[in-house]
Structure 1
Amino acid sequence: MFTGLSAFPLTPITASGVDEQGFIKILTRLTAARVDSMGILGSTGSYAYLTREQRKRIATLAKQHAGDIPMMVCVGAVSTDAILHLADDAQAAGANALLLPAVSYQSLNDEEVFSLFETVTRHVSVPVCIYDNPGTTHFTFTDELHGRLSSLEGVRSVKIPGVPGSPAAAAERVAVLRQHLHPGVTIGISSDAYAGLGLNAGCEVWYSVCGGLFPETAKQITEAAAAQDHEQVTALAARLEPLWVLFRKHGGSIRVIAAAAGVLGLTDTDCLPRPLQPLSADDTADIARVIATLGLK
């Protein structure tokens, strides 16, 4: 399941709790597009803001509506005990894989992170993807640590945050990381603005926020990558630059994707967990224009 398009949907949240109907509407877009896998409760899925019971419910709903599409569930938390409970819940809900970040309050060192992954992989019966996201976890994985972790039974993929901005440098970055990884462990690009560069550089999977709301648009890029059509990958990714500009303008993807879900009529216009605030009417209008201009779907 660690190839192609792994779509990461928004978890819409209102004042009364998780918007289950809105979530199902978003999932329906993913199943209709036949994405290669779903990444449930990632950062745009607001895992860090939800209770254990809410996360279990979301994973269960996702499995009920995923059909035969594999589902990966994020089990990130600060304490190992909490992670193991979340892993049990995710597996009980039918997760086909787990996404594990190194979330911390006190700074973690490499040995502590290795011990965490070792404990989790011994505890669970499904594959694990390493979630390398220093912007939110404040832990930076080294290539050497990725290599050690990839030797653990059950670790099957690494979700990297981005690649350098030129094709040659991106290819070198992916090649260097791959030299450290155990054979069979895939590399996935996750920062959407670098998707084209990462896929052309040899990443086997796009862990995609864009794909979580606009799966058909994102799938065009991963299908071109599978066909080794580097020029088409570059052109399709470059065409989405107005969307990447919005992500950068608003401090990441979640506020933009939440506003876009409202524009599409899938959720309420305010569907972010507090203290996150919805975008202004003017900003939302800008997002609506980009969706229409690019024909995102």
Structure 2
Amino acid sequence: MAFLSGLSAFPITPSDRDGRIDTKALRKLVTRLCAAKVDSIGLLGSTGTYIYLTREERRRALAEALDEAGGQTPIVVGVGALRTDEAVRLAQDAKALGAAAGLLAAVSYTPLTDDEVFEHFSVVAREGGLPIVIYDNPGTTHFHFTPTLVGRLAKVPGIVAIKNPTDKSDAIDSHLAGQRSIVPEGFSIGCSGDWNATEAMIAGADTWYSVLGGILPEVCIKIVRSSQAGDAAEARRLDAALTPIWDLFKQFSSLRVVYVLAELLDICRAEPPRPVLPLSAVAKRQIVEALERLPAGTAR
């Protein structure tokens, strides 16, 4: 699927303290991403704090984003939930509204077995009726998709892609090659973990599922296009210029940093959902300084 390649940009979901979506701010973010010509928008991912929102607010966010995108940019939307039946309903909602695909993580309180995750994903893909992207996010879910499980899921009708973590930078090449060998042709292999994503794209990943792309899409698009064109040197040059941002992501988490970036860039004023607290004034000053160090034209 063509939309599951290139840059998938993941914006925040601005909302008030009661979890009600700020639709004006969300539309502004979507307009910005469409104008930058990202390949897809990753709505209601971890950066979009999907797990903190009700089904009603998730539907409202998706409806507003789809309306603003106007069919110009496909939207991949988070459909993860603790219960399988809830995830099915969220996938059905997303399909009915017009989402291109659903992003599904192995969200759980009780640790899950491989067979439980296989059944969960299979049921959501079958009953939800929406193409599903596997979201391997062990830093949050504490569940890691083994090669065996990925190979099984990739054969399930309706499961079309995977979003991989890239925390082990020295294993990116071997991980991608190994995954290519166990999934069907046309199955999209993507990466997250922004500070290692350039190397993953150079190594042949199909998609960069990007947090920074949701707030600074232009530079991320340039990295992706350079990687796709085989210009690894240019991709690495652009990536190196973002080192101040990557350092902040590692220090404070990408989620907290992008909320500050949205304010500094005069896109919107919002706070992450409680109990996640906004960053301190000292931390915000570090982000201001990092923005000032970026090359001209990057922070817009």
Instruction: Give the TM-score range, shorter chain.
Output: over 0.9
Matched with 1:287 is 287
Q: CA RMSD in A?
A: 1.3
Partner Cα separation in structure 2 for residue 170 and residue 233 of structure 1? 16
User: How many percent identity over aligned positions?
Assistant: 43
**Pairwise mapping of residues 206-285 of structure 1 onto structure 2 (< 5 A)?**
206-250=208-252, 252-268=253-269, 270-285=270-285
Q: CA deviation at 1:292?
A: 2.9
Can you list the C-alpha shifts for 1:71-108, whole angstroms capped at 9, x where unaligned?
A: 11110000001101111111122111110111011111
**Pairwise mapping of residues 185-224 of structure 1 onto structure 2 (< 5 A)?**
185-224=187-226
Partner of 2:181, secondary structure, is: helix
Partner Cα separation in structure 1 for residue 28 and residue 60 of structure 2? 16
User: Which contiguous aligned blocks of 4+ residues in structure 1 show a shift greater than 6 angstroms?
Assistant: none
Partner of 1:276, secondary structure, is: coil
Q: 2:35 aligns with which of 32, 36, 52?
A: 32
Number of residue-to-residue matches in the alignment: 293
Q: CA deviation at 1:248?
A: 0.8
Contact in 2 for aligned 1:163/1:173 (Cα 8 Å): no
Partner of 1:111, secondary structure, is: helix
Matched with 2:135 is 131
Partner Cα separation in structure 2 for residue 224 and residue 124 of structure 1? 36
Contact in 2 for aligned 1:195/1:237 (Cα 8 Å): no
TM-score (norm 1): 0.95
Partner Cα separation in structure 1 for residue 89 and residue 172 of structure 2? 37
Can you list the C-alpha shifts for 1:46-82, whole angstroms capped at 9, x where unaligned?
A: 0010111011100111101112211111100000011
Partner Cα separation in structure 2 for residue 203 and residue 97 of structure 1? 18
Structure 1: gaps spanning 5 or more residues: none
Contact in 1 for aligned 2:89/2:128 (Cα 8 Å): no
Amino acid at match of 1:216: E
Matched with 1:175 is 177
Partner of 1:159, secondary structure, is: strand
Partner Cα separation in structure 2 for residue 22 and residue 293 of structure 1? 27
TM-score (norm 2): 0.94
Can you list the C-alpha shifts for 1:152-174, whole angstroms capped at 9, x where unaligned?
A: 111111100115324xx422221
Structure 2: gaps spanning 5 or more residues: none
**1:83 and 2:95 are equivalent in the alignment:** no
Partner Cα separation in structure 2 for residue 173 and residue 15 of structure 1? 40
Q: CA deviation at 1:116?
A: 0.9
Matched with 2:103 is 99
